[in-house]
A and B are shown apart, each in its own frame.
Chain A
């Protein structure tokens, strides 16, 4: 089945690291994505990871993938107030030629000054 789950809310202090977690159920998913949504703005792709990778780092962002547990995480180092937003993980079932994205319900990140 296709189901992506995330915790609803995370609050961190500015300068700390944030870790947003996601679990997915389609074990055949080959690409997993992290999107950011700010109020009044569209979804912005932050990063993605291919399933043959365990980790991907892109500046302040680190994605960890545990295929055995179907667990994906996004770590934001040195979190800033501008990182406050809703973060969505998403998968694209590989046997589906539409390449549509299946999103989790989002994690609201609040960065306290």
Chain B
């Protein structure tokens, strides 16, 4: 296992289109996180899964965004009716966490979304 992978690496779409991103975490990792990073800023938390359960969603995650982790392995993040403000790098991270002391999150390379 070479780490967290994300697909696609780049996505260019027109405003109003739907897009879906995929994240494959490190095998056996029980937690999976989605973050968004805009230019010149640090990543901001969007949502996370404990196994297949989505346990928290940020206020940044409008109702146009939906995330799934159906079998507790890979995850998808879908954005419906994209807007130019959705342009950002979407980062996925995974961790094997039993307590805060284990909280080393491994990040994927990200999917860069550009909405025209």
Contact = CB atoms under 8 A, between A and B. Distances in A.
Interface of A: 4, 30-31, 35, 40-45, 48, 50, 88, 90, 92, 94, 98-106
Contacts, number: 60
Contacts of B95: 99
Contact of B42 (A41, A98, A104): A104
Interface residues of B, number: 28
Nearest to B95: A99
A41 B91 CA distance: 11
A106 B104 contact: no
B43 A99 contact: no
B110 to A, nearest CB: 6
A48 B104 CA distance: 9
Given A43-B43, A43-B91, A101 B105 contact: yes
A11 to B, nearest CB: 17
A101 B97 CA distance: 13
Contacts of A31: 100-101, 103
Interface in B1-26: 3-4
Max count, chain A CB within 10 A of own CB: residue among B35, B55, B103: B103
B91 A99 contact: no
B41 interface: yes
A98 B105 contact: no
A99 B45 contact: no
